[in-house]
Each structure stands twice: as structure tokens, then as C-alpha cells.
Amino acid sequence: MRSGLGAIVILGALVLAACSSADTSTPVPDDGGPLFGDRTAAAYFQSSCSSCHGGDRSGGIGPSLRPDDLTEADSVYFETIAGGRGGTSMPAWRRAGLNDREITALVEFLRSEP
């Protein structure tokens, strides 16, 4: 009997973790104003992303984000920034307040040369 209850508890924990790890369904409203509080994508990256991905985007705790290392479609990087990456320290930046336009600007910045 205990093993059945344990399995139910583990299954419930997995379902909760899956549901909370990548919420990309609710976009932050875009008022058409300046991006990143009137900063550039490069400045936002330096203040918010470089501690994990390196100031030169060569990686660290997080993977390298240099153009040559970005082998997936832009939509993969957009969804990763928006919803985070479960099981890692990559947060959901949409939950932190970024809107779709800002996330797109970050992906475009990542595609640019450092």
C-alpha cells in the first residue's frame, strides 16, 4: 500500500513541476513603449544574463550564446527566454516582465556578433 501512495505523491510532484516550469501562454502586454526600460538589448543582456552566459556570451553556468553556437530556430530561443528551462537555473523572463517584443529583441541580439 505504501508504494502505491508513494507513486501517487511522486507523480503529483512531477505534474506540478511540469506545469510550472515553462509558462509561455500569457504574454506580458506590450504598450509599444521603449524596450527594457529604455535600454538596449545588449545592456539588458549584460545586467540580466551575463552572470550565467558570460559577458562575451561564451558561456559559464549557462551555455554559450554566440551566433555560431546557436543551432536551433529562433523560436526555440524565444520560448526558452520566455518560459525558462525546467531543471536548470534559466528563469522564465516573461514572468519577470519581458514582453514578446523585448524577447524578440534579445533573440536578435544573440544572433548578432559579440
Pick the closest to residue 100 from 29, 23, 41 (CA basis): 29
- Indicate the domain borders of the chain: 2-111
CB proximity list for 51: less than 8 A, separation 6 or greater: 60, 61
Over the chain, what is the mean pLDDT? 83
- Alpha-carbon span 35 to 20, nearest angstrom: 26
- Alpha-carbon span 92 to 83, nearest angstrom: 4
∠90-84-110 over CA atoms, to 5°?
75
**Plot region of 73 (φ>0 → left; ψ -120 to 50 → alpha; else → beta):** beta
pLDDT in tens, 52-61: 999 999 999 9
- Alpha-carbon span 51 to 90, nearest angstrom: 11
Whether the pLDDT of residue 90 is over 80: the answer is yes
Q: What is the DSSP letter of 63?
A: P
Q: In terms of pLDDT, which residue wins out, 23 or 16?
A: 23
**Whether domain 2-111 has CATH 2.60.34.10:** no
